[in-house]
Amino acid sequence: MRESIRILLVDDQSLIRQGLRALLELEPDLTIVGEAENGQVAIDRAESLNPDIILMDVRMPYTDGVAATEIIHQKHPNIRIIILTTFDDDEYVTAALKVGAIGYLLKDTPSEELAQAIRAVDKGYTQLSPGILAKLASKLTSTSSAPAQLTSALPLDFYELTLREKEVLRLIASGASNREIAEALYISEGTVKNHVTHILSRLNLRDRTQAAIFANSILTQLE
């Protein structure tokens, strides 16, 4: 059994890295294994250190956080990346999630909540700061720039989901893993995977993150 979650800190400001290290190392199950001052160094450190989690800033010199996330995710899909930044701009959020980030948190997140988010991401849950999920859901379902599959799915395709598939979708929105969904609904993990595959196909969604965003935007209709 793994003793602790191994974390790589990526930020171009040394004071931020030092502060994060000091706060997170107070947690007995979190270990800082390295630091990087820009995206290019982060790519190299990900290769040499193979951390479990990377806390990645967005705006950095040489290689920014979104570009670094894409490269690291392609080369090391087992490493989970949380964007930790001061920017909640829609373009940064959607770009980061699109290329493989599994979390997007703001730097004003309290240290205890950040630690909990790291643990959740380590288990495979998507973590977004309060307000970001609502902003994304609103953008994806109500603006002309939203992906067509998300704006067109609700009127017809959503209602073609079975009751069980809607239950699975609701649990995806809550951040539950396949195992937890299986336990909650008393079905096998294989059955859950089949339901998830059908949900993504039926709603023309790319992945679980899009499914969670979609589901949170229509929670009242999942009842």
In tens, the pLDDT along 33-85 reads 999 999 999 999 999 999 999 999 999 988 999 999 999 999 999 999 999 99
Q: What's the gap between Cα 173 and its chain centre?
A: 12
List the end-to-end C-alpha distance of the chain, in Å, as a whole number.
39
Tell me the H-state helices in the chain.
Answer: 14-24, 39-49, 65-75, 90-98, 111-122, 132-142, 148-153, 163-173, 178-185, 189-202, 208-217
- For 175-197, what is the mean pLDDT? 90
Residue 1 pLDDT greater than 70, yes or no? no
Residue 218 pLDDT greater than 80, yes or no? no
* Per-residue confidence (pLDDT) for residue 145, from 0 to 100: 42
Residue 175 pLDDT greater than 60, yes or no? yes
Residue 144 pLDDT greater than 50, yes or no? no
Is this structure's pTM higher than 0.95?
no
Residues in the chain: 223
Measured distance CA(118)–CA(6) in Å, rounded: 10
Q: Is 147 exposed, middle or buried (0-12, 13-18, 19+ CB in 10 A)?
A: middle
CB 175 within 8 A of CB 181: no
Evaluate the CA torsion angle 73, 170, 194, 117 in order and state its sign.
positive
Measured distance CA(35)–CA(10) in Å, rounded: 6
* Cα dihedral 141/145/149/151 (nearest 10): 30
User: In terms of pLDDT, which residue wins out, 71 or 218?
Assistant: 71
Measured distance CA(181)–CA(169) in Å, rounded: 10
* Per-residue confidence (pLDDT) for residue 34, from 0 to 100: 97
Residue 5 pLDDT greater than 80, yes or no? yes
In DSSP terms, 7 is beta-bridged to 32, 53
Rg, C-alpha atoms of the chain: 18
DSSP state of 154: T
Confidence of residue 153 (pLDDT cuts 50, 70, 90): very low
